[in-house]
Structure 1
Amino acid sequence: MAFMRVRIGTRKSKLALWQANFVKSFLEKKWGVEVELVKITTTGDKILDSPLAKIGGKGLFVKEIEQALMEGRIDLAVHSLKDVPMVIPEGLTLGAITEREEPHDVLLSRDGGKLLELREGAKVGTSSLRRQVQLKRLRRDLEVEVLRGNVDTRVRKLKEGMYDAIILAYAGVKRMGYEDEVTEVLDYFIPAVGQGSLAIEIREGDEETLRLIEPLNHPESRVRAECERAFLRRLEGGCQVPIGAFAQVKGNTLTVRGFISDLEGLKFIEGEEVGKPEEASELGERLAESLLQQGGERILRDIYGG
């Protein structure tokens, strides 16, 4: 092991590099291996002026990195799990899912007011349809505007007065050192599938790399991710549809809550399923089926124009 060299593929953003360095430090300390970060620009990094829903969704943040992995230019890739599409390319697999950081969304506001305290007509920035519809259901008077860019850019735009408040993932805010700026933890929002965990992607059959990253895999976080991702996979959801799911494990009980909504938050269908951790995928699919039967199928048809 001592002479082995590992190449980690990562995006170039500060948050992506924090995540890749987290894995790099672990591998160096645990195994004494030499680790190189290979920085890759993805399509999602190049297009910053359009909502993800319009340009093809979150897969745009991983495609080029997965290509490098398949071609053997890197040995493993580190992604935010919420950016990883539901279908993994043939020949690749998620070798590890790390312990989930705080999974919720957070509000950062200029005047320190919580969501329900923001002035009427306040401008709130977020790039996520999932966040937008949950916002609209609580405060139809707010002006919700698209906000893209990395965490630093978004916080800077807030401070420059371009927005009255912004909504971000708590995990990214913590990792980038902005925790003191948080006005409110939106624990009443259903978060994005997998939000807070890192996914370490490797080539199928690469037992050596799998052995290196195995200690980073967190079984409970993996169960929760499998449940949420099965829910989203069954709904064939991408960034074009407001969908959220949140699974929690307590003892031998796995609970998953989820929703599907139209773009305005007027048709908002939510539900919950309870089962055992070993039924994670089935539970996620069951919740998805339930929401589809309650009107979710119509919402999907309307949004996709079917």
Structure 2
Amino acid sequence: MSKVIRIGTRDSELALWQAKTVQRALEHTGHSTKLVPVKSTGDLNLDQPLYEMGITGIFTKTLDVAMIKGEVDIAVHSMKDVPTALPKGIVEAAVMKRASNKDILIHKGIDFLNAEGIIATGSLRRKAQWLNKYPDHRVVDLRGNVNTRLKKLEENNWNGAIFAAAGLERIEIKPENYIDLNWMIPAPAQGAMLVVAMEDDDYCRNALSALNHKESEICVHIEREFLKTLEGGCTAPIGALARILKGQVHFEGALFSLDGKKKIDVQKAVPIEESENLGKLCAQTILENGGRELMQEIKTVLNN
């Protein structure tokens, strides 16, 4: 049996780049495909910060519905946007090889770093980590696709804005005026692309299994397990990064207060064969060291 695999994607430039990458990989292995772009709620509402919308998976929900209704066969996502619990009937089919996991600062000159400054980001994680390092700065909300955010930075009196390096590199618009934020812990699964399919669709799942990058899959699953155990969803300032070096998985994770003043972190390295519950164990360490109370504080503030 063969069929045309309908690939669901958001219609931003970056999302289309990601979907076309999967499309090329599938066609390279002899499969027929068709792109089906849709708009998500997260793309349509650019006036409200993401955490205020209170919807888990705001960028993935529209595609989930399209898959369940049979309008598309698979969907391609930035994995950091995907809730840790997928809707019933939808499963992970492939984690593509991970790109850069770094956050970068696009700036208008870096003199402000040692003085007062205004930084833009729509991410609670980036905001909390920035304020942890630069408590005298002000952080303003920034929403929209990559191109929209770059334009807003240009038009406003902000000193800089924080972006994921992978997104800018993928669509080749990374400007020269940037610095790597090597001290900032990325979002769980940042830089990774996830392809999902329906659980009962053996044809698509088999087609996608050839695209899975095992090392990336191991690392992002540890990071997402850490997130899930902390019950962060997309709303708490949580960073996590797992890397494989010489047969060991090196993990670092942190939970921050919304204002960046509190930081609870963990670092651990284990052999790959012992890494199955690493994310969960590290999250439990955070929870036992004050993380449980901090998560409650965060939820109380965000729900009011």
**Alpha-carbon separation, structure 1, partners of 2:274 and 2:240:** 16
Q: Which residue does the alignment assign to 2:221? A: 226
Q: TM-score with structure 1 length normalisation?
A: 0.94
Instruction: Write out aligned runs for 1:74-223 (5 A).
Output: 74-111=72-109, 113=110, 118=113, 120-223=115-218
Q: Report the secondary structure of 2:251's partner residue.
A: strand
* Kept after mapping to 2: 8 A contact 1:44/1:58: no
Matched, 1:36 2:31: no
Matching residue's letter, 1:13: S
Q: Which residue does the alignment assign to 1:45? A: 43
Query: By how many angstroms is 1:252 displaced?
Result: 1.8
**Alpha-carbon separation, structure 2, partners of 1:199 and 1:34:** 20
Matching residue's letter, 2:65: Q
**Alpha-carbon separation, structure 1, partners of 2:170 and 2:56:** 20
Query: By how many angstroms is 1:285 displaced?
Result: 0.4
Instruction: Write out aligned runs for 1:205-284 (5 A).
Output: 205-284=200-279
* Kept after mapping to 1: 8 A contact 2:89/2:199: yes
Q: Report the secondary structure of 1:296's partner residue.
A: helix
Query: By how many angstroms is 1:273 displaced?
Result: 2.0
Quote the RMSD (CA, aligned, Å): 1.7
Q: Which residue does the alignment assign to 1:14? A: 13
* Kept after mapping to 1: 8 A contact 2:125/2:239: yes
Q: Which residue does the alignment assign to 2:281? A: 286
Matching residue's letter, 1:134: Q
Q: Report the secondary structure of 1:59's partner residue.
A: coil
Q: Report the secondary structure of 2:175's partner residue.
A: helix
Query: By how many angstroms is 1:117 displaced?
Result: 5.1
**Alpha-carbon separation, structure 2, partners of 1:57 and 1:187:** 30
Query: By how many angstroms is 1:162 displaced?
Result: 3.9
Q: Which residue does the alignment assign to 1:69? A: 67
**Alpha-carbon separation, structure 2, partners of 1:233 and 1:279:** 19
**Alpha-carbon separation, structure 2, partners of 1:219 and 1:57:** 30
Runs of 5+ unmatched residues, structure 1: none
**How much identity, in percent, do the aligned residues show?**
37
**Alpha-carbon separation, structure 2, partners of 1:206 and 1:226:** 22
**Alpha-carbon separation, structure 1, partners of 2:145 and 2:43:** 9
- Cα displacement string for residues 136-182 of structure 1 (whole angstroms, at most 9, x for unaligned residues): 11111212100001110111122224422010000001012122335
**Alpha-carbon separation, structure 1, partners of 2:132 and 2:189:** 23
* Kept after mapping to 2: 8 A contact 1:102/1:171: yes
**Alpha-carbon separation, structure 2, partners of 1:71 and 1:183:** 43
Matching residue's letter, 1:247: A
Runs of 5+ unmatched residues, structure 2: none
* Kept after mapping to 1: 8 A contact 2:108/2:177: no
Q: Which residue does the alignment assign to 1:23? A: 22
* Kept after mapping to 1: 8 A contact 2:96/2:213: yes
Query: By how many angstroms is 1:57 displaced?
Result: 4.8
Matching residue's letter, 2:27: E
Moved over 6 A (4+): none
* Kept after mapping to 1: 8 A contact 2:106/2:175: no
Mean Cα displacement is larger for which, 217-226 or 50-59? 50-59
* Kept after mapping to 1: 8 A contact 2:83/2:234: no
Q: Report the secondary structure of 2:265's partner residue.
A: strand
Q: Which residue does the alignment assign to 1:56? A: 54
Matching residue's letter, 1:242: P
**Alpha-carbon separation, structure 2, partners of 1:36 and 1:82:** 24
Q: Report the secondary structure of 1:61's partner residue.
A: coil
* Kept after mapping to 1: 8 A contact 2:9/2:75: yes
